[in-house]
Structure 1
Amino acid sequence: MAREHAHHHHGPGDHGHHHDHGDILHTHAPAGKMGRAFALTCIILIVELAGGAISHSLALMSDAGHVLTDVFAIGLSWFALRQSVKPADEKMTFGYARWGILAALLNGLTLIAITLWILWEAYHRLEHPSAVHSLWMFVSAAVGICINLYLAAGMRDEENLNVRSAVLHMLGDAAASAGVIVAGIVILLTHWYLVDPLLSIAIALFIAFGAWRIVRQTIKILMEATPQTIDFREVVGKLKAVPGIHDVHDVHVWAITNGQNALSCHAVLDGNMTIRESQQILRDAEHCLAHFGIGHVTIQIEDGSHPHDNRALCKAQDQSGEHHHHESDH
């Protein structure tokens, strides 16, 4: 039977073969917000660097170091969002959507690096406490809280993983700034200067926890793992239940970027079926997969005589690069 590929880029109610540009239009909004976030974060950096230098507060300087990472991270996220709307071309057939995933990964790694720096500086401060002037801690941290909460609130509903990583930076800064104010109050009332490096350690641990979650998510996408929101076995079961499909194999489910899921598989149909007759089966399969949030579908149809393994997962390749279960190339 001739091989046929079904390409699906639309919702369950539309079976025309076209590309949906809704994601591209949606991306312009967070890109504009990210540009504003970049400018305002630069203001926070300047204020906290000045306040940290004047007050001699490690907690404030640690937060400023985190903000410096934010300036880089948000700037990179902004660039990635602009790149991700570029259309696919012959060299990048999936488009540039994974710029955002790469940016999110780099953001997470830089957060981990700044965490190590904060812990190192806090260790030295615990050994040699120094006086801290609380007034400048209050002023600088208050500026940081107000701006970061304003920015995070404006982007809190975005699903883009890259934007979410930037929002994490902002919330982390706001929490750190709140801690700096609390530390300033303690120092003002008790002159217990050890609270400053102790707070720095708490900030570092908070940053590290969120950073690891972002890194783990981005690695899964780059490794083309099955998205967490999709049950692989359920997808296979639903495909096999589509009338006219006798079996499916070589099934792959992955995410091009956060929220853009894809699937490819081989489907075994009746060998006497015409191409026209197979179209309804393909449309039913596309409709079924749309309910799982899978919007990019490629189905290769075969008859029962085509060499294949009955397992849904493709077997590992041997050293020669040939599939163990294929007698000829697919």
Structure 2
Amino acid sequence: MDKKQNKENSNIRLAFFLNLGFTIVEIVGGITINSIAIISDAIHDLGDTLSLGLAWFLGYYSEKKEDKNYTYGYRRYSLLAALINTTVLIIGSFIIFYNAIPRLFNPQSTNATGMIGFAVLGILVNGLAVFKTKGGHSLNEKVVSWHLLEDVLGWIAVLVVGIIMYFKDIPILDPILSIIITFYILYNVIINFKKTILLFLQAVPENIDLNKIIKRFEKIDKVISTHHTHIWSLDSEYHVLTTHLVVDKSASLDDLIKIKEEARKKIQDLNMEHITIEFDFNEKNCTLGKKL
């Protein structure tokens, strides 16, 4: 496991333990101050904790080296974690809508002092976790960061409402802020959900232009054309490329070695984990698609 991947897994592990500890505090505190709102949020955070634990485990598991069963390694388990957590976030958002919308028509008073206390603690705990995960490059860590940001924004809303309600009882503010924040989070989560699904379906990663890569290859000396060029991603960071280069019939063995070296240099900035380059001297001689 390289340093960057180890750091990302360490950040998710820290977020997991922070969330777990805060969930326990919420359950005890909610029972103590007799607040169903805090207890409900504790249940929500328990779900977050399970998701973070899954992200941590699958993120670590994804760093296993290739074997006879997974010849490309286990990196796609990181994508699986991102997909599961994104799904949990989407379901959670609709649960919030389900509970918040009725309160627009039937606002309920809450314990303002308790809300303020738990909101401050929630902002500190989840804010630290967001700070540690916000710079992640993998989809897994990005989804985790959005998961935690949702909690931070939620607690900020609780704090604002708690302060206002400490001086004046306006309970409808709680569901209004919850709905606004949930819309914001849901919008960004759906974007990441779409990216994750596309990567699962082996679409070309969004930051890679396939046509530009083909043009780079075709500018190499003695390369006539390219075909069967395919790119897909293992985990949104590390990619796989296969291509056939049609080369001039006069190309010698030394020329072929140089062409392959040059082709690899052309894509060295794209985090290609596995590269397969095959040579053809004539497109008609390509064996792909031909019956044996």
Shared fold (TM-score greater than 0.5)? yes
Which residue identity does 2:189 align to in structure 1?
A
Shift of 1:305: 5.9
Between the aligned partners of 1:241 and 1:279, the Cα distance in structure 2 is 16
Alignment match, 1:289: 267
Shift of 1:254: 1.4
Greater Cα offset, 269-278 or 143-152: 269-278
Alignment match, 2:206: 228
Between the aligned partners of 1:65 and 1:26, the Cα distance in structure 2 is 32
Between the aligned partners of 2:74 and 2:119, the Cα distance in structure 1 is 37
Q: 1:277 aligns with which of 255, 263, 278?
A: 255
The aligned length equals: 291
Determine if the alignment matches structure 1 residue 47 to structure 2 residue 21.
no
* Larger relative helix fraction: 2
Q: 2:192 aligns with which of 185, 199, 214?
A: 214
Determine if the alignment matches structure 1 residue 114 to structure 2 residue 81.
no
Alignment match, 2:136: 158
Shift of 1:32: 2.3
Partners of 2:59 and 2:81 within 8 A in 1: no
Alignment match, 1:176: 154
Alignment match, 2:127: 149
Query: Structure 2: where are the runs of 5+ without partners?
Result: none
Corresponding residue SS for 1:257? coil
Q: 1:240 aligns with which of 212, 218, 237?
A: 218
Q: 1:93 aligns with which of 71, 85, 90?
A: 71
Alignment match, 1:71: 49
Q: What is the alpha-carbon root mean square deviation over aligned residues?
A: 2.2
1:176-220 CA-to-partner distances (Å, cap 9, x unmatched) read 111100011121122011112222222322331232122111111
Q: Name the structure, 1 or 2, with higher relative contact order (CA <8 Å, separation 6+).
A: 1
Corresponding residue SS for 1:246? strand
Shift of 1:117: 1.1
- Length-normalised TM-score, structure 2: 0.91
1:218-277 CA-to-partner distances (Å, cap 9, x unmatched) read 111111111111111111111111112111001111111121122111111123434343
Greater Cα offset, 147-156 or 258-267: 147-156
Sequence identity (%): 26
Partners of 2:246 and 2:283 within 8 A in 1: no
- Length-normalised TM-score, structure 1: 0.81
Query: Structure 1: where are the runs of 5+ without partners?
Result: 1-22, 310-322
